[in-house]
Structure 1
Amino acid sequence: MPIDLFRPLTTAEKQHPIFKMMLKNGFEPERDVLLQWANGFEDRDGKFVKEFQTTFESSFWELYLFAALKEWGLPVDLRYHTPDFLVGGSVPFCLEATIANPPVGGQPAYGFSQVDLPANFTEFNVESTLRICNSFDSKVKKYRTNYSKLVHVQNKPFVIGIASFDRPHAHFASGRPILAALYGMYHDEEATQFGDTRVPSYNVSAAPKTQNTHIDVGLFCDDSYPEISAVIYSSLATWGKVRALADNPRAMTAYTTLHPNHGSIMPIVRGAMKKDYSENLMDGLFVLHNPFAKHPLPRGLLGHPRLCEVTIADDGELIMEAPDDFLLLRMLNSIIPV
């Protein structure tokens, strides 16, 4: 029986602002996108729909990953409610979803305005990296204390899916924080000079949490986390993704997207109105491999023409396979009739 995402289970006061907005007239195409993602999904613990309606982001990310698994053509065994997905196919693996949340007392990733634009992108990227590391670490601990004891998990690759919802404009981070968190690849925005053809980058082993405390990064640079085979990451699997995929050509929405511009630090900028804009489910998605994994995820198993797959060569070089027009950033400006 299909799950009913949009039959309210709580009062309006307890509903997440984005869910509440989706219930309004005019958002039928966006609701259809989410119902397509949820097709075949089961509320195994009986809490999913209520959490989708009240806290939204973590459930939304889980639905996105389920849709991505269908796009990859991979079957999911829904008999188990932990970890999130037991994936079949030629190489069965487990996938656990998590999100990077705001720090305690921090602003959420919704309801922001232009005054919340990052003033310092170096600080913005460092903080985003820390939030990703925290989410990664919590799932590793859960694997070691819980998941590793489950028979259906043992001797299989284990993948963590992480999405950034840690602050206003979290999507601006693109791939910067995940590359720093997993491979210690730090891009120094402040060191960039006029006329440079690339942002200076170098390897780091830690990021400052406070003046006296540092958090380890480069999590895939040694054998500290052999249990984790890979990470699936996106900063663009957001409400904007749903708007982009919705069949709603009459929507008064302007899309601005950024794409790599080889040989220049200035990205290629494209603009289009909704009726002329198209986007793939997998645009903006990263699959990042751990070279020290005990059970490696085969390269290409989660390949797709629209995503970026990251591996490390034997000599330590970071190899990023992505389309030339890989989606770095998407921004929407909408006029919504009242």
Structure 2
Amino acid sequence: MDLYSTEYDDEKLHSYFLRLTTDKKYEPVKAVIQNWALGMDGRKGELNKFIKEFQTTFNSSLWELYLNKAFKDIGFDVDHSKESPDFCLISKTGKVVNVEAVTTNNPRNKDKSYYSSQAISESISQCDQDFLDESTIKLLGKMRDKRDLFIGKDGKKHPYSSLDHVKDKPFVIAVAPFDNHLSFTQNNIAINRVLFGIEPPKPNRRGGFVTHKIKHIVNNNGAKLELGIFTNDSYKEVSAVIFSTIGMFGKAIVQSKIDATIRGTKYRVYSIKKFLSNKRKNR
């Protein structure tokens, strides 16, 4: 799969793709991403469409490339002859799992001005609660879209659930956030609201932490959206969710080992004995 030969004018190419193909310092990054694509040329029916999306919209295709590499590193074989869902995985024991990839996206993603310093500053200035609420609503919307695609809601022909290689097999949604310049900072806070209906833990007066539940969120149209979709059977068709905030352009930069500024998070390391001895605090 040749990801970088293009027939499109610069105006149509995504800002990150242009950076990759015009700045020589990103040559090692190009090699990393090309390596992520190994085997994906088996997508005969959608190969050209995938390359076009990588060059013009970038993020959703990059997420699929990242997943392709991750699944192979884990030890799955990927049957790319199956066009839908995105990944038909075969384990070493022969079990089949189908994965549909999806991303939340910013409506200005194709607009080069969205990647300007001013646009990035606007993202940074957004208040934390608005950022969290928007992230939650977008993740929930993408989950709903893919669930509906699986079951064939509204009379959609050939739903995923009708495909022979999907019937009676686990169906997994792999979702990543790209809707905000700070999407990578949301950690698992928004997805925990969507899946389990729980808010981020907050410190209490005893020096521990307490977690509150959230049942719904209101969108810009005033509609109530139910959260905690894995606490009931409303998404019973979805076996699991893969979620990551790091399958982004920065991941390829880090793996390429070129000089770059990266963000790190410091964690405490506990032995299991120490953790259990403090289980009240760690609850």
| Residues 238 and 109 of structure 1: CA distance in aligned 2, closer, same or farther (over 3 Å) | farther
Give a deviation string over 1:273-301, Cα, whole Å, max 9, x none: xxxxxxxxxxxxxxxxxxxxxxxxxxxxx
Tell me the secondary structure at the aligned position of residue 8 of structure 1.
Answer: coil
Structure 2 residue 179 is matched with structure 1 residue 177: no
Tell me the secondary structure at the aligned position of residue 217 of structure 2.
Answer: strand
Residue 106 of structure 2 aligns with which residue?
Answer: 102
| Residues 194 and 33 of structure 1: CA distance in aligned 2, closer, same or farther (over 3 Å) | farther
User: Post-superposition shift, 1:166?
Assistant: 1.2
| Residues 222 and 103 of structure 1: CA distance in aligned 2, closer, same or farther (over 3 Å) | farther
Q: Which amino acid aligns with 1:32?
A: A
Residue 61 of structure 1 aligns with which residue?
Answer: 63
Give a deviation string over 1:38-83, Cα, whole Å, max 9, x none: 1111243131111100011111111111011011110011111111
Matches of 1:144 and 1:10 in 2, distance apart? Answer: 36
Residue 93 of structure 1 aligns with which residue?
Answer: 97
Number of residue-to-residue matches in the alignment: 256
TM-score, normalization: structure 2?
0.83
More relative contact order in 1 or in 2 (CA 8 Å, sep 6+)?
2
Matches of 1:219 and 1:164 in 2, distance apart? Answer: 18
The answer as to whether partners of 2:56 and 2:110 remain within 8 angstroms in 1 is: no
Matches of 2:129 and 2:246 in 1, distance apart? Answer: 20
Matches of 2:81 and 2:100 in 1, distance apart? Answer: 15
Unaligned segments of structure 1, at least 5 residues: 264-319, 321-338
Residue 18 of structure 1 aligns with which residue?
Answer: 16
Q: Which amino acid aligns with 2:18?
A: K
| Residues 197 and 262 of structure 1: CA distance in aligned 2, closer, same or farther (over 3 Å) | farther
Matches of 1:83 and 1:119 in 2, distance apart? Answer: 35
| Residues 143 and 254 of structure 1: CA distance in aligned 2, closer, same or farther (over 3 Å) | same
| Residues 59 and 92 of structure 1: CA distance in aligned 2, closer, same or farther (over 3 Å) | same
Q: Which has the higher helix share?
A: 2
Q: 1:129 aligns with which of 111, 116, 136?
A: 136
Tell me the secondary structure at the aligned position of residue 203 of structure 1.
Answer: coil
User: Post-superposition shift, 1:254?
Assistant: 2.7
Matches of 1:261 and 1:9 in 2, distance apart? Answer: 50
Matches of 2:108 and 2:226 in 1, distance apart? Answer: 20
Tell me the secondary structure at the aligned position of residue 100 of structure 1.
Answer: strand
Residue 217 of structure 1 aligns with which residue?
Answer: 227
Matches of 1:223 and 1:187 in 2, distance apart? Answer: 23
| Residues 11 and 210 of structure 1: CA distance in aligned 2, closer, same or farther (over 3 Å) | closer
Residue 51 of structure 1 aligns with which residue?
Answer: 53
TM-score, normalization: structure 1?
0.70
The answer as to whether partners of 1:96 and 1:159 remain within 8 angstroms in 2 is: yes
Q: Which amino acid aligns with 2:29?
A: E
| Residues 109 and 87 of structure 1: CA distance in aligned 2, closer, same or farther (over 3 Å) | farther
Q: Which has the higher strand share?
A: 1
Percent of residue pairs identical: 29
Q: 1:206 aligns with which of 209, 216, 221?
A: 216
Give a deviation string over 1:158-206, Cα, whole Å, max 9, x none: 0000000112211111110111100111126xx76899654x4211111
Matches of 2:266 and 2:188 in 1, distance apart? Answer: 12
